[in-house]
């Protein structure tokens, strides 16, 4: 998209007015119609943004980690609209190593790192201590190995009692083999160990450990539904009612709430939202619009300029151009089956 001064100058040219310097030297000191058109361009962009709640160019993804015992969370500071039907809760990864070169949490015994892989020769091992397990919960470990057999051990101490010790073999030499296994935590602190006891070198590409639950979509309810059916339970401050969130609702102060109240801080909530419009200020600021839509910005800005001049006929013509432009944007950016509604 053209920058701020270009949009202003295109509008001024259409009005047969003097344009501003493209390098911005007189942009902040402009007066009269030039200053007014700067305002009209911003208003035009704002009108375009407000003509739809879900323009694709304003789409963003939100992420919120939960806190045990906390029901309500702030939405992103730049949000304008949130789709409550997109909320998903997932288990947070307790271990997430996709590149061993950049993960300093592993303690290596003779093992080495090469190209991001953990390289294990015979009797080599690597270990990480995790302190955020929940006793009696099931967890899932997923990892990929190449070259040889790798033993995954989960213990309550380093080299001590093992609650999990299992060998995993390579079945696809070319791409490696992804393995998934589960184990039950018996303490909050556990030691995760990867070991190679064979004579053939083994490599581990990645390893992720999460609670053994699948991502699930949250059911959207209104605040009234929450207040009628669940608020009394949540207000009891009885932690026995905490659990995995199943419902999401908008609060009365612009946040979102979860029910049941999260029983721990290792859930991640994912959702989709659409951002607000930040007004252009500097001459080289650029709006979040594709270049092919700059004529729509100019048409709407000209509408405001002609209204200022008292020229209703020309203002009406510019309004029609603007409305046609919005219809074109909807055809290209919104569900094509719904675009024929009026502006």
Q: What is the pLDDT of residues 31-86, one digit of tens each?
A: 999 999 999 999 999 999 999 989 999 999 999 999 999 999 999 999 999 999 99
* Cα distance between residue 265 and residue 255, in whole Å: 18
Rounded distance between C-alpha atoms, residue 252 and residue 48, angstroms: 28
Look at residues 313, 317, 285 and name the one whose alpha carbon lies nearest to residue 299: 317
Alpha-carbon gap, residue 48 to 279, rounded angstroms: 13
What is the rounded average pLDDT for all residues in the chain?
A: 91
Rounded Cα gap, residues 90 and 88, in angstroms: 7
Least confident among 51-65, 112-126, 157-171: 157-171
CA 78: distance to chain centroid?
Answer: 13
pLDDT per residue over 191-214, tens digit each? 999 999 888 899 999 999 998 988
- Confidence band (pLDDT; 50, 70, 90) for 216? very high
pLDDT higher at 65 or 240: 65
Q: What is the mean pLDDT of residues 90-110?
A: 89
Please answer whether residues 280 and 287 qualify as being in contact, where contact means their C-beta atoms are separated by less than 8 angstroms.
Answer: yes
Phi-psi region of 176 (alpha: psi -120 to 50; beta: other; left: phi over 0): left
Nearest CA to 153 out of 188, 118, 117, 129 is that of: 129
- 135-155 confidence digits (pLDDT tens): 888 999 999 998 888 999 999
Q: Are 220 and 168 in contact (CB under 8 A)?
A: no
Give the pTM: 0.74
Section 215-235 average pLDDT: 91
List strand residue ranges (DSSP E) for the chain, in order. Answer: 59-65, 72-74, 79-91, 95-97, 107-109, 112-114, 117-120, 125-130, 138-146, 150-155, 162-168, 177-184, 190-195, 202-211, 216-217, 219-220, 247-250, 255-259, 267-275
Predicted confidence (pLDDT) at residue 309 exceeds the cutoff of 90: yes
pLDDT of 1: 81
CATH numbers and ranges of domains, the chain: 4-55+276-335 (no CATH), 98-211 (2.60.120.260)
Using DSSP's 3-state secondary structure scheme, residue 106 falls into: coil
Average pLDDT over residues 155-164: 86
> Given CA atoms 284, 289, 293, 298 in this order, what sign does their dihedral have?
negative
Structure token digits, residue 304: 């405001």
Report DSSP state, residue 282.
S
| pLDDT over 80 (residue 234) | no
Collect all residues with Cβ–Cβ distance below 8 Å to 132 and sequence separation of at least 6: 94, 188, 266
Q: Which residues sit opposite 256 in a β-bridge?
A: 73, 250
- CA nearest to 266, candidates 308, 342, 184, 211: 211
Distance CA(266)–CA(253), nearest Å, equals: 25
| Residue 334 confidence class, pLDDT cut points 50, 70, 90 | confident
Cα 270 from Cα 262, distance rounded (Å): 15
Task: Tell me the sheet residues that pair with 127.
Answer: 107, 193
């Amino acid at each position: 998209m053209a920058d701020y001064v270009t949009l202003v100058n295109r509008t001024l040219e259409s009005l047969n007015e003097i344009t501003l310097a493209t390098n911005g030297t007189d942009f902040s000191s402009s007066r009269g119609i030039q200053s007014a058109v700067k305002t009209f361009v911003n208003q035009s962009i704002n009108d375009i943004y407000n003509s739809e709640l879900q323009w694709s160019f304003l789409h963003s993804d939100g992420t919120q980690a939960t806190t045990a015992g906390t029901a309500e969370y702030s939405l992103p500071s730049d949000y304008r609209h949130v789709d409550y039907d997109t909320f998903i809760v997932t288990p947070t990864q307790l271990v997430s190593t996709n590149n061993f070169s950049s993960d300093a949490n592993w303690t290596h015994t003779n093992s080495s790192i090469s190209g991001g892989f953990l390289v294990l020769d015979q009797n080599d091992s690597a270990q990480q201590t995790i302190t955020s397990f929940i006793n009696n919960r099931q967890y899932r470990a997923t990892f990929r190995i190449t070259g040889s057999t790798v033993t995954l051990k989960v213990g309550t101490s380093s080299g001590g009692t093992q609650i999990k010790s299992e060998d995993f073999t390579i079945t696809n030499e070319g791409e490696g083999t992804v393995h998934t296994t589960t184990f039950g935590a018996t303490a909050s602190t556990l030691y995760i160990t990867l070991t190679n006891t064979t004579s053939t070198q083994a490599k581990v590409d990645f390893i992720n450990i999460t609670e053994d639950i699948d991502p699930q979509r949250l059911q959207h309810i209104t605040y009234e539904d929450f207040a009628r059916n669940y608020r009394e339970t949540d207000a009891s401050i009885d932690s026995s009612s905490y659990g995995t969130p199943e419902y999401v609702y908008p609060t009365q102060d612009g946040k979102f709430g979860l029910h049941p109240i999260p029983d721990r801080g290792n859930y991640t909530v994912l959702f989709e939202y659409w951002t607000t419009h930040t007004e252009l200020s500097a001459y080289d600021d650029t709006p979040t619009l594709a270049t092919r839509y700059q004529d729509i910005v100019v048409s709407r800005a000209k509408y405001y300029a002609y209204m200022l001049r008292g020229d209703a006929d020309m203002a009406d013509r510019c309004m029609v151009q603007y409305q046609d432009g919005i219809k074109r944007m909807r055809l290209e950016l919104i569900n094509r089956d719904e675009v024929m509604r009026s502006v």
